[in-house]
Structure 1
Amino acid sequence: MLNTIAKPFVRLVERYLPDPYIFVLILTLVAFAAAMLVEGNSPQAVMVMWGDGFWGLLTFSMQMLLVLVTGFMLASTPLVKGILNRLASLARTPGQAILLVTYVALAASWINWGFGLVVGGLFAKALARQVRVHYPLLIAAAYSGFVVWHGGLAGSIPLTIATEGHFTQEQIGIIGTGQTIFSFFNLAIVVMLFIAVPLVNRWMLPPEEDSHYVDAETLKDGTEVDVAVTRPAEHLENSRILAWLIGFSGIAYAINYFAGGGGLNLNIVNFMFLFLAIVLHQTPRRLLNSLHEAIKGGAGIVIQFPFYAGIMAVMTQSGLAATISNGFVSIASADSLPFWSFISAGVVNIFVPSGGGQWAVQAPVMIPAALELGADLPRVAMAVGWGDAWTNLLQPFWALPVLAIAGLKAKDIMGFCLVQLIITGALISIGLTWF
């Protein structure tokens, strides 16, 4: 029955969802219009906000590009390819492949969102090489695991408010992860999603006659060809000693970082991916060959992230994001504030797809409301985090790395993600209000 229900959503998205680049252009114009019509800003003022903020995500853009590139390079090493292929061999049927990729993506995303995006996409390709399965749903299943990231170990909002010196400390103090990430209500939501998301993906699997398969040969990586070494420079390019000296130095730094109490973040994940890839590729030449393949999928990230930075600046500086949040808060009570915080965060996330950036926008609204109403502050903060993660199932911004790895377009997977959006939204709402 769920497959039947999913069909109109899939057709709707395939027909009307534009390329993510067109999507961000439309969002830009919508943000412009709303900032002028709702907030009363002049066209010139909005243009200045947009232009000044356009390059505000350069660091983050490079981090996201490195998530894709370093993850691809690591996964293309013989060792990791062998592990992924052996794990993929556990699936013998299309249904098992869908379930397995969803569980792996959920677990990896709960550990770290960047890790989850790359591992999910690469593992899906490994499965598609071994099992004939509806490829768009397989990739959608890999991406759907991303929905748990803000309730996991790398959730930016709970980690922010647990850090000494955070920008809202004077209002709420330090809120430890025992009250947020490891609270009963949050763990209950995570458990529900670990049960529901794989089953929903499995139940959306279409019959064989309606499935779209991909030729496994097209998913195979290029074969390494050994080239005769004749020049001194080529000896360096093919030097294992050079690669290992640098690679193991990086690994030693990572060990020291974690031994000193360092936590998982995007920079250390990229760092580990890169230096493990350097070691496991064994020579600089093999690493560079892998890099040339990896970089092909990064074009969407390079061109689209600056536009989202501009939209974020318009939303925050014009007051539009605060207006949206205030609109939901105005109808809330102490018990319902987490729910309305969740919904408002989901709406804001479509325009401001950044967990940390979203908390900076919504905290000045949500915290005073929670204090005035006597609401549960940790629950309200996590509600904003879950709202941010939830509508990523609709917003193609975060799907770019997965789509680049898979070689698909957003319209190919977002119909299935839309079904997950409805079901996970209901489950998260239940967890935030009933547990």
Structure 2
Amino acid sequence: MIKPLTQAFVTLFDRYMPDPFVLVLLITLLVFFCGIAFEGQTPLAMLDYWQGGFWNLLSFAMQMTLILVAGFAVAKTPLFERLVDRLASIAKTPGRAIITVSLSTLIICWLNWGMGLVAGAILARQLSARVEGVDYRLLVASAYAGFITFHAGLSGSAPLLIATPGNFLEDQIGLISTTETIFGWLNIKIMIAVLIVMPLTCRLLMRGIDKPVTLNVEQTEAVIRETRSARDLRPAERLERSRTLAWISAALGAACLSLYVANGGGLNLNLVIFILIFLGLALHANVQSFLKALDDSTQGISGILIQFPFYAGIMGMMNSSGLGSSIAQFFVNISSADTLPFLSFLSAGFINIFIPSGGGQWAVQGPILAEASQSLNAYFPDVVMGFVWGDTLTNLIQPFWALPVLAIAGLKARDIMGFCAMIMIATGIAISLVLLF
């Protein structure tokens, strides 16, 4: 059954999935009219909610752009290429390459989603040039699929938020330690299931591919070769090719990082970007090489820059119109103490299609789930983790988070979404079984 199902899903998404920008426009219209039809909002009110939320993701869009270009610059260093060569020596066959990329991204995204998202895409791109016969689309889909662990890991917004003093639910539920959520037994069981099921699913999907789509990625020279001797260079060119300047700047960055850690600072998206920028400066031969790598990386950022404001507008309409709360409340109304974690999982997966930000979605669902847990006497940490895994699962068919991956890979959403849908179904069944039994 693997082959016909895989071909059916790949063909379906290839033929009917539009460009992500077209998709975000369609979702915008859908939410706009649903707010009017189901929440009794006026068109003027929905327009006001849309415009009010439109600019709420500007800083996040810049963060995503920077993490993309900085991560790409690090990938074009000799050190990273040697690391990929070492992995390629282990993953000599297409099957091993698929499993290597999937497992690597699952683990790195659990540690930090920003680092994992970029590292997985770059690893997939580089391995495609070194492993003969591997399907590039499936390789990239396997890398993106690893993103599913991010919200259940060390950078997950909901588990970290409810453990932070002063959060908006503290008066209602108190503080809940990460030992009950991220490091709780339920999350450990789900992680084990995902670490087994997802890579194996990615590997099995190879059987549905008759003719692998391959990509020959040119080996990039990190050092721009000098065509003139140092004696003939202008002073400005000497500065551009100066290793000393790059290394001194990197040393300043390392000093700032050490001071930040010494003062008790934790890992976050801004810190990951900071590390990538100065790591890139340190590992490139000179400033000119670093800037050339940045130039090469900026070709795919247009999707992030134009689509994130539209998603912010959708989130504004979902939150302000009450549509998101109504959907969450519907699932709560049909729940019991035993089924609330599972129905939290289902509702989060559905709402995530319209509110693809974990933090923004938790602001909508969190109070409703907390109240339901208290009234049903359900164990709230398990309800939170059900929400977390539902929120991440449908990211596999939501292009919002795939945009940086697609930009690095040079693919369109329709190229990988057929595979991602299959991975989502298999992984979703495994998570559901853990939540129910």
- With normalisation by structure 1, the TM-score equals 0.96
Matches of 1:3 and 1:117, distance apart in 2: 28
Q: Is the 8 A contact 1:67 1:118 kept in 2?
A: yes
Residue 258 of structure 1: CA displacement? Answer: 2.7
Corresponding residue number in structure 2 for 1:133: 134
Corresponding residue number in structure 2 for 1:104: 104
Residue 119 of structure 1: CA displacement? Answer: 0.7
1:281-338: CA deviation from partner (whole Å, max 9, x where unpaired): 1421111111100111111101100000000000000000000000100000111111
User: Gaps spanning 5+ residues in structure 2: where?
Assistant: none
| 3-state SS, counterpart of residue 353 of structure 2 | helix
Q: What is the 5 A alignment of 1:146-295?
A: 146-206=147-207, 209-214=210-215, 216=216, 218-221=217-220, 224-228=224-228, 230-295=233-298
| 3-state SS, counterpart of residue 182 of structure 1 | coil
Greater displacement, 170-179 / 202-211: 202-211
Q: 1:28 to 1:12 in 2, by over 3 A?
A: same
User: Gaps spanning 5+ residues in structure 1: where?
Assistant: none
Residue 226 of structure 1: CA displacement? Answer: 2.1
Corresponding residue number in structure 1 for 2:43: 43
1:163-197: CA deviation from partner (whole Å, max 9, x where unpaired): 11111111111111100000111011011100110
Residue 87 of structure 1: CA displacement? Answer: 1.3
Q: Is the 8 A contact 2:98 2:202 kept in 1?
A: yes
Q: Is the 8 A contact 1:88 1:123 kept in 2?
A: no
Q: Is the 8 A contact 1:103 1:145 kept in 2?
A: yes
Matches of 1:70 and 1:213, distance apart in 2: 26
Q: Is the 8 A contact 2:35 2:317 kept in 1?
A: yes
Query: Any runs of at least 4 consecutive aligned residues in structure 1 with deviations exceeding 4 A, and if so which?
Result: none
The aligned amino acid for 1:360 is A
The aligned amino acid for 1:283 is N
Residue 384 of structure 1: CA displacement? Answer: 1.3
Matches of 1:362 and 1:42, distance apart in 2: 24
Matches of 2:209 and 2:310, distance apart in 1: 40
Matches of 2:221 and 2:351, distance apart in 1: 42
Residue 49 of structure 1: CA displacement? Answer: 0.9
Matches of 2:209 and 2:184, distance apart in 1: 43
The aligned amino acid for 1:414 is M
Which of 405, 417, 421 lines up with 2:424 in the alignment?
Answer: 421
Greater displacement, 230-239 / 196-205: 230-239
Residue 350 of structure 1: CA displacement? Answer: 0.4
Corresponding residue number in structure 1 for 2:64: 64
Residue 259 of structure 1: CA displacement? Answer: 3.4
| 3-state SS, counterpart of residue 210 of structure 1 | coil
Q: Is the 8 A contact 1:88 1:126 kept in 2?
A: no
Residue 227 of structure 1: CA displacement? Answer: 4.7
Corresponding residue number in structure 1 for 2:11: 11
| 3-state SS, counterpart of residue 177 of structure 1 | coil
Residue 116 of structure 1: CA displacement? Answer: 1.0
Matches of 1:24 and 1:85, distance apart in 2: 38
Matches of 2:69 and 2:48, distance apart in 1: 33
Residue 271 of structure 1: CA displacement? Answer: 0.8
Compute the RMSD of aligned alpha carbons. 1.4
Matches of 2:178 and 2:63, distance apart in 1: 25
Matches of 1:43 and 1:205, distance apart in 2: 48
Residue 105 of structure 1: CA displacement? Answer: 1.0
Matches of 2:79 and 2:349, distance apart in 1: 39
Matches of 1:124 and 1:347, distance apart in 2: 29
| 3-state SS, counterpart of residue 89 of structure 1 | helix
The aligned amino acid for 2:61 is S
Corresponding residue number in structure 2 for 1:32: 32
Pairs aligned (count) = 432
1:321-370: CA deviation from partner (whole Å, max 9, x where unpaired): 00000010000011111111111111111011011111111112111111
Matches of 2:339 and 2:208, distance apart in 1: 41
Matches of 2:434 and 2:173, distance apart in 1: 23
- With normalisation by structure 2, the TM-score equals 0.96
Q: Is the 8 A contact 1:134 1:206 kept in 2?
A: no
Matches of 2:208 and 2:41, distance apart in 1: 52
Q: Is the 8 A contact 1:125 1:406 kept in 2?
A: yes
| 3-state SS, counterpart of residue 176 of structure 2 | coil
Matches of 1:185 and 1:93, distance apart in 2: 35
Residue 2 of structure 1: CA displacement? Answer: 2.1
The aligned amino acid for 1:100 is T
Matches of 2:209 and 2:124, distance apart in 1: 19
The aligned amino acid for 1:109 is C
